[in-house]
Structure 1
Amino acid sequence: MPAVSYAAPLQAGDEATISQDQADTRGLIQDIVVMARRREESAQSTPVSISAISQQQLTDLNIVRIEGITQLVPSLRITQASGSGNAPAIFIRGIGTLSTALYVEPAVGVYVDGVYTPRPSGNTFDLPDVSSIEVLRGPQGTLFGRNTTGGAILLSTGNPTEEFGGKVSFSYGSREEVIGSAILQLGKIGNTPFSVKLTAQSHSRDGWVKTPNHSPSQWGGALDSYGFGAAIRGELGNLTVDLRGRYNKIISYTGWEALSATPVGRAYFANAATASGIAFPIGVGPRDYSYRDPRTSGKSVVETKGGVLTLDHHVSDAFSIKSITAYNTIDQNLRGNLGGGATRGTVANPAVAGQPVEFVSVHVTPTNPGQQRQFTQELQLLGDVGDFNYLVGLYYYDESVDETITTILNSPLSATSAIRLNRSTTYVIDSKSYAAFVQAGWKPSFADGKLEIVGGIRYTEDKKALNSSSVSTTITTTRATQSRKDKWHNVGWLGSISYKVTPDILLYARAASAYRSGGYNAPTVGVPPFDPEKAISYEAGFKADLFDRHLRFNAAAYQTDYDDLQVNGYNIATNTNLLTNAGKARYRGFEIETQVAFGGFRVDGNVGYVDPVYKEYILAVGGVPTNVASQARFSNIPKWTYHAGAQYTLETADVGSLTLRGDFTGKSNSSTYTILSQAPNTAQVPFFGKESNYSARLIWAFDLAGKKMTAQVFGENLSNNRYLTFASDFGAVLAGTYNRPRYYGVALGLDF
């Protein structure tokens, strides 16, 4: 259910906390305490479009990676961007980016324990110890800073406890998928005020895209991941000290398939396959079959490490000071056969003179090492003074990324010959960002706390420096270098007004702006930087708990206006991905979330609708800047997202509780490219495909020797619905990846 965590039912205007088990027994819908405005407050009393997901819900629905939450949140789409080690590509209300490269700034900010983690490949970890997830929909530029033009996702891990205890879980499913995790609470350290927690997780599975001459553990879709975490927390009087660290490593294999091609591309690879006896199938799938080019292992490795020190000094209700200091790193090497196949064909410029027949594919990445280093510091001053509450903050962000991208590309010249391009690009980007922000709320006494007016402002300055070089070889070798520095700044703002008609019904309206930093198309030397993306959003909604908290109904309608919208596309002429500023766009939509709870019966659902329109899209046509807004489509943006779930829990005195749950999640079709006239192969596959996922599970919870045990049998994607998760046009061939087929499994859990 989209709003279940630790409970805080509202009664007569008060917020009293009860346990989850107590609330379930009484058949109530729980509220949740959130940090959407950087302070603890009830989700139903917060004038923000927010969906909150608890640790229990993640466990019940077997959600172990961040893309799994896409079923629970309206207007949210998360897919695995398979070109980047299965990094998540996140869209909220239609805003996001498919590129997960280290040089690209995302449009949705992801925060782990209050720390911004900007690179998608740094968010490939499993979720063994996440206590709650908050999805904030719409621009969040005042409190959460740059790169939140789409929204923000806040992940919080559990605190160490003073008592010894823990939790272990294990699941086994289709394609030899094995997931194990452990949380160990060591309790207090001697007579000190500090408590310690340790976590560990492991996750492996075979792939489903068959790759000849390789074991299933190396087929497309396969992964092998493990991670560790530690936390120490203690209270020294009014000072809380919290230190956390985590490590994760994931090895994955992508399963690209060739979907369409130009006439000469189709003829060349077909003739090469016939002559060599090595298949190179081209056609819309999924076929779940791909021949791997021997020039790449196809093995992508991403290793992440991070630590955060949080100091919280509560001087009084009127004044607290909070410091968040963090350091994160990413080390990765992405390898893959992005062209979707390989065979032996004739090339005009063979690697070995006199041997014109060699392996050919439209896009191969033999090696792509990269690293990111990030230091952040945030200082917050906050408190309540009379009818007012306030938050003042300073923020510093220092990041360095460097990457070397080595690619081999074959471009057919005719039905019998192609030319090979070897290219290696190295770039370094140093970024620094400075921000200052303030937000204040007023709850006038004359309104008995029912009315709240909030205003906020944030100033951000970004500085970036780029150094890049590229070496391209066909018959001749071309070298290029680039070095430049740029600076951008922005003033963001927020205003909201809310009113509690009753203790359980909130009406609100808000307007906010947000900003996504400008940057560089680093692998393409000589291309000028793209400008920041700016957004202004207007939203109105209500949150209602009705019939003595047995029915929840939340709804919001919004309009967001974007200027210099950053749009990703593949440049066929240069065989590179490019981010460009499309122009102006308007997004309108609405979202509804509802729950019904009565005794052991519960139903939940959500629906989101977004209708984006380009107001201006400037593109060079024949060298002349032209507004092509009428032709432009919105790539990877389903207009409709929807989810419905129902469960019934039977409580017994002898065997514990049995819960039967079923879910349906769907997303409407969406375009694969923005300007199809620029990508003739994509025009043959214009849509990603409609998403629909039926899942079912039976959960048995019981006590064993005084310990809480759970056992579960589940099935996902029961209708075996298949759709594209990623697609890219490489000139001669369009290739893409498909979602996971139907799968089943069992899971066990023990709390001690």
Structure 2
Amino acid sequence: MSAAADDQTVIEDIIVTARRRAESAQSIPVAVTAIGGDKLEEMTTVRLSDIAALAPSIKVTSASGSANAPVIFIRGIGTITTAMYAEPSVGLYVDGVYMPRPSGNAFDLPDVERLEVLRGPQGTLFGRNTTGGAVLITTQTPRDEASGKVTFGYGTNNEVIVGGIIHTGEIGDSGFKAKIAGQIHNRDGWVESPNFNPSDWGGNEKGVNFNAALVGEIGNLRIDNRARYAKIDSFTSWEILGGTPAALAAYTSSAAANPAGPPFVVSGNKPRDFSYRDPRSTGNAEIEGYGNVLTLDYEFSEAASLKSITAYQVLDQDLSIFLGGSFVLGRVINPRVVGNPIEPVSVHVTTDNPGHQKQFSQEFQLAGDLGDFNYLGGLFIYDERVSETINTELGSVATTTPITTFIRVNRSVPYSQKTKSWAGFGQLSFQPQSLDDRLEISAGLRYTKDTKDEESRTIATTTTTTTTSHTAKDSWDNWGYAGSISYKFAPSIMAFGRIASSYRAGGFNNIAVVAAPYDPEKALSYEAGIKTDLFDRRVRFNATVYKTDYDDLQITQLVTTPNAAGGTTSTSFISNAAKAEYKGFELEGTALLGEHFQIDGNIGYIDPKYNSYNFVVLGVPTDVTAEANFAYVPTWTTHIGAAVNTGDTSAGKFTFRADYSQKSSTDLASVDRLSPTVRNFKSGKDKDLSARIIWTDIPVGDVKLTAQIYGENLTNNRFINFATDFSSLATVVFNRPRNYGIRISAEF
């Protein structure tokens, strides 16, 4: 949180749209953390994965297909998958438009005006798939005056960021103004792969972003059109955590028997930052997306304004994925070649994974003020088409005597899915002027109808080929509601209570056609909080306590089953845990201690519990409540930051800032019996110490020049970011090691 532009000794009051209207973040009965664009730039925030320390009860990890595809957990709820059929549990909105696919959110954020993190279910105003919360990103609006900015950054692993933004100001006397922004972001990897260039090592990135906006008014009609294009290539290197004794022995002996290939490398729970990359997966994961959103806002009067948001988005991806961690040469029962040849063996490699998604959405909102009441009513329509083909080669041990042999399973899963959804929603708030607007009572209601239609096939080849086909169609509907009451005991002290429900659509396991469909997930949350600005807005303290009950909680599982050739096949799919509850609290604070010193921080505590969890194990419904875990859910999240500045000097202004964040070590798998290796490991604590020196107002003519030197993960703390257990072997992705960089920007 930074100081307001007109007074450097008070805390900024950020305007948010958490209730679909412009309001102060401190005045609304919603647990929201608002972060301005200046703060994001100061913290060198590049993408969504960088926001985890800026708000309590948040963890951002990666999905299996791409480390750049962020998986956001809020209050312990998140969805780990890059599969296009799966629905997220945290809704992401960019410029008011719902973005449902993690891989479509892998792109950089080059020109963010503000970011809002709404914690807890947000099902009334933001609809389907917000059982964990919502993240709202608003890009910069074109400015009234012509201006521009260029940015250059360089850091560890040859990381280069070059970006720019141009505001035209008003174009003639048209009443319209425009903005063009772009950014290139390239980085070498840090997980060494022999025979590959560092630019293709694990952790590498090659990204480009472009967006444009045109905003203007014609009478009472405001027109806002925003377009964006982004592309990113990257590769995620996995390392072998461990495995069963039989599998470890088989891979080790096979590597020793075939010295022309690489040795068998096991990293354990400490990273080696080294992986022999399977030669069948040589390319990067490629993600490309573009879209347009047109917002029309017509104000009839203070009593009524009508808004239309029309959006079209396209996403293309081809994920080259190597989950195996490393490979060896081994003798293989090959479905294509007679004679048990020697060839690369790894537990899992996705040679090709093309996918395509397109969506159209239309939203209408009618809002206004009528005396002591303000209201919002709306209609939302959503139409999505996805198609994806996942081609994988799976290796499993066939026999270890007299010669170690492996079974190779070639599996191709093409599928398509159509989703149609519509919803009607409304909210009414009562704020009596007779009480000087201190009291507010709000109630909201939403009806949602979802329909899904899917076709899928699984073509699996061991020594023979089997094909399994599946078609399904189903629909679900839901009534969601929310209610809140707040009271301002003083202009800057407010207490509130809130109850809210939310709903996540059911669906089909398109890449595991033998798995049962899953039911909708429903959440009901109770929370109470206080928001304060004290000592003439020099101290801010917010606190929230909550309890959320989940019914049919959707859990992503990886289940290994025997195949026809005597090996095993691993498949990821979604199932329902019957009932769970999450309890916790959150604290956020900022203090300006004079003109030159600021301290800020947050604490989040999450205490989840399964009340019942039934799962089908080998065809038998089984109560697994006692052995079920909450994967990637940290009990504690903490952050503390401090900044001191010199004030204005003849050489400019210097700010020295340090931040430390920590998240508890977490479980890595949901059910112990399905994860024989991973169950014995924890992620390790996510600890990050960063520091930066920021030099602003550098006296260079009329150009506003800023320079920054920063270091992140200064203690070089390493932890497991994501893990997969294939029963025989388990593999993991570790976080990025210590890194440094510089940023220079010039505004004109």
Deviation at 1:180, TM superposition (A): 1.2
Deviation at 1:82, TM superposition (A): 4.3
Deviation at 1:527, TM superposition (A): 2.4
Query: What's the secondary structure of 1:485's corresponding residue?
Result: strand
- Show the counterpart of 1:394: 379
Give the Cα separation in 2 of the matches to 1:426 and 1:442.
52
Alignment of 1:545-556 (within 5 A): 545-556=533-544
Give the Cα separation in 2 of the matches to 1:737 and 1:41.
41
TM-score computed with the length of structure 2 as normaliser:
0.97
Deviation at 1:350, TM superposition (A): 5.7
- Show the counterpart of 1:675: 671
Query: What's the secondary structure of 1:338's corresponding residue?
Result: coil
- Show the counterpart of 2:564: none
- Show the counterpart of 1:592: 587
Find 1:50's aligned residue among 32, 40, 47: 32
Find 1:443's aligned residue among 431, 446, 470: 431
- Show the counterpart of 2:657: 661
Query: What's the secondary structure of 1:329's corresponding residue?
Result: strand
Query: Is contact 1:530–1:579 with CA below 8 Å preserved after alignment?
Result: yes
- Show the counterpart of 1:294: 279
2:171 aligned with 1:183, yes or no? Answer: no
- Show the counterpart of 1:521: 509
Query: Is contact 2:332–2:340 with CA below 8 Å preserved after alignment?
Result: no
Alignment of 1:217-366 (within 5 A): 217-277=199-259, 278-284=262-268, 285-349=270-334, 351-354=336-339, 356-366=341-351
Deviation at 1:711, TM superposition (A): 0.5
Amino acid at match of 2:85: Y
Query: What's the secondary structure of 1:534's corresponding residue?
Result: strand
Give the Cα separation in 2 of the matches to 1:622 and 1:460.
35
Give the Cα separation in 2 of the matches to 1:613 and 1:674.
12
- Show the counterpart of 1:411: 396
Alignment of 1:18-29 (within 5 A): 20-24=4-8, 27-29=9-11
- Show the counterpart of 1:688: 683
Alignment of 1:539-618 (within 5 A): 539-573=527-561, 574-597=569-592, 598-618=594-614
Alignment of 1:448-467 (within 5 A): 448-467=436-455
2:611 aligned with 1:627, yes or no? Answer: no
Query: Is contact 1:141–1:515 with CA below 8 Å preserved after alignment?
Result: yes
- Show the counterpart of 1:490: 478
Query: Is contact 1:65–1:126 with CA below 8 Å preserved after alignment?
Result: yes
Give the Cα separation in 2 of the matches to 1:625 and 1:348.
34
Give the Cα separation in 2 of the matches to 1:569 and 1:395.
32
Amino acid at match of 1:468: S
Query: What's the secondary structure of 1:144's corresponding residue?
Result: coil
> Would you say how many aligned residue pairs link Structure 1 and Structure 2?
733
RMSD: 1.2
Give the Cα separation in 2 of the matches to 1:251 and 1:690.
29
Query: What's the secondary structure of 2:246's corresponding residue?
Result: helix
Deviation at 1:439, TM superposition (A): 0.3
Q: Deviations over 1:69-110 (max 9, x none)?
A: 101110011122242362001100000111121111000000
Find 2:632's aligned residue among 633, 636, 656: 636
**Structure 1 residues 252 and 438, CA, compared in 2 at 3 Å: closer, same or farther?**
same
Query: Is contact 1:643–1:664 with CA below 8 Å preserved after alignment?
Result: yes
The range that moved more, 698-707 or 299-308, is 698-707
Find 2:359's aligned residue among 365, 374, 395: 374
Query: What's the secondary structure of 1:59's corresponding residue?
Result: helix
Amino acid at match of 1:31: D
Query: Is contact 2:335–2:463 with CA below 8 Å preserved after alignment?
Result: no
Give the Cα separation in 1 of the matches to 2:740 and 2:280.
35
Amino acid at match of 1:323: S
Deviation at 1:355, TM superposition (A): 5.1
Give the Cα separation in 1 of the matches to 2:718 and 2:165.
35
Deviation at 1:374, TM superposition (A): 0.3
Q: Deviations over 1:238-262 (max 9, x none)?
A: 1100111000000001110111111
Give the Cα separation in 2 of the matches to 1:187 and 1:23.
26
Find 1:198's aligned residue among 163, 180, 185: 180
Query: What's the secondary structure of 1:565's corresponding residue?
Result: strand
Query: What's the secondary structure of 1:322's corresponding residue?
Result: strand
- Show the counterpart of 1:699: 694
Find 1:735's aligned residue among 731, 738, 743: 731
Q: Deviations over 1:599-637 (max 9, x none)?
A: 111000000000000001012356543332222110110
Query: Is contact 2:52–2:59 with CA below 8 Å preserved after alignment?
Result: yes
Alignment of 1:495-514 (within 5 A): 495-514=483-502
- Show the counterpart of 1:14: none
Q: Deviations over 1:651-674 (max 9, x none)?
A: 133011100000001100110011
Give the Cα separation in 1 of the matches to 2:738 and 2:338.
48
Structure 2: gaps of 5 or more residues: 562-568
Q: Deviations over 1:270-309 (max 9, x none)?
A: 1122122312212413010111111111410000101000
- Show the counterpart of 2:21: 39
The range that moved more, 388-397 or 82-91, is 82-91
Give the Cα separation in 1 of the matches to 2:36 and 2:426.
29
Alignment of 1:125-136 (within 5 A): 125-136=107-118
Amino acid at match of 1:671: D
Query: Is contact 2:72–2:79 with CA below 8 Å preserved after alignment?
Result: yes
Query: Is contact 1:350–1:357 with CA below 8 Å preserved after alignment?
Result: no
Query: Is contact 2:64–2:80 with CA below 8 Å preserved after alignment?
Result: no
Q: Deviations over 1:162-198 (max 9, x none)?
A: 3211111111000100011101112222331111110
Find 2:127's aligned residue among 145, 158, 182: 145
Deviation at 1:526, TM superposition (A): 3.2
Give the Cα separation in 2 of the matches to 1:240 and 1:22.
28
- Show the counterpart of 1:159: 141
Give the Cα separation in 1 of the matches to 2:63 and 2:467.
30
Query: Is contact 1:81–1:725 with CA below 8 Å preserved after alignment?
Result: no
Give the Cα separation in 2 of the matches to 1:653 and 1:723.
42
- Show the counterpart of 2:565: none
Query: What's the secondary structure of 1:74's corresponding residue?
Result: coil
- Show the counterpart of 1:745: 741
Amino acid at match of 1:446: S
- Show the counterpart of 2:464: 476
Amino acid at match of 1:723: F
Find 1:108's aligned residue among 76, 83, 90: 90
Give the Cα separation in 1 of the matches to 2:741 and 2:35.
22
Deviation at 1:336, TM superposition (A): 1.8
Query: Is contact 1:264–1:413 with CA below 8 Å preserved after alignment?
Result: no
2:76 aligned with 1:94, yes or no? Answer: yes
**Structure 1 residues 236 and 517, CA, compared in 2 at 3 Å: closer, same or farther?**
same
Q: Deviations over 1:564-603 (max 9, x none)?
A: 0001110111411011001100100000000100211100
TM-score computed with the length of structure 1 as normaliser:
0.96
Deviation at 1:414, TM superposition (A): 2.5
- Show the counterpart of 1:10: none
- Show the counterpart of 1:15: none
Query: What's the secondary structure of 1:122's corresponding residue?
Result: helix
Amino acid at match of 2:642: A
